Amino acid sequence: MKKYLVIGNPIDHSLSPLIHNHWMEKYELTDSVYEKKKIKKKDLKEIVEQVRSGKIKGVNITVPFKKEIIDLLDNVKGDALLTQSVNTLHKAKNEVHGYNTDTEGFKKSLEDKSINYENKNIFILGAGGVTSSILKAFIETAKKIYITNRTKKKAEELKKHGDTLLTTLKREKEIIETIDWGKKPKVCDIIVNTTSVGLIKDQNLDLDFKDYENNKNALFYKLRGKTYEENVSMYPKQTNSNLYFQKNLKHPY
C-alpha cells in the first residue's frame, strides 16, 4: 500500500484525507491511501527518513512546520526556496526534496474567478509559515502591501524577506509596510487572513472592518475555508471581522 500523509499540529481540522482519498478512489488508485497525523517538532526528522526509505510516498505539511522542516531536507526547490516555506515532500533518487504549491494554488484560486490582483493595495493579516507564499503571489504586481501580526517582530522579518524578493525581482523596496496589530491602513482592495484563527475554538481576530462598509469592491480572502466560497467574498454585511473571518474557519489541508 502506498501511503501519503499530511502532518501538522493541530491536524483534526484537515480535509486533505477527504479530498485526496476521493480522487484516489475516482481514478482507481486502490494501492494508495492518504492519512493525517498530528506530530511534534521532534518527529519531523523521522517523517523525512520515512519518505527517504519509501515507507511514506509523499507528505503535505501544514501549520506550524512549513519552515521548521527545511533544515532536514536535502534540497528545496522553486517557490519553496524563494518563500522559505515547504508544504510538500517528495523522494528523488535517495534524496528528500521540498516544494511549495501554496503560491501558485493561491494565485490560481483568484484567476479561476477572474479576480484581478495586479496593481492593488493588499492587506495581509498574519506572518506564519504560509504567509510568505501569499506575499510571493502579490509581490510581483502589487501597488502596496501592508502586513500586520500580533508579534510585530515576525511581521518585520516577513517584510525583510519580502524586500529581498523585491531585490531579486528588481522592483522598488518601498511597497511593503508593517503596521501594528489592531491598526489598519487605508481601505485596501484585497484583505487576506493568513492567521490560525479558527483552528482553536473561540479565537477572535479582534479587528473591526466597519470602515469597509462603503467599499463594496473590497475582497476578503481567508485561508481556512472549506470551499472557495468560504474563502473569498466581497465585503460582507457583518462589519466586525470576527463575524466574517471566523465563520466556519478551516484550514484547506
Beta strands in 77-158 (DSSP E): 88-92, 95-99, 121-125, 144-149
Residue 145 β-bridge partners: 122, 176
Q: What distances in angstroms separate CA 99 from CA 74, 85, 178, 207, 212, one per listed residue?
A: 12, 8, 27, 33, 36
One-letter amino acid of 50: Q
Number of neighbouring beta carbons within 10 Å of residue 72: 17
Catalytic residue among 57, 66, 136, 222: 66
Peptide bond into 64 cis (omega under 30): yes
Say whether 66 is catalytic. yes
First-to-last alpha carbon distance for the chain, in angstroms, is: 22
Distance CA 15, CA 199 (A): 13
Q: Which residues are catalytic, by number?
A: 66
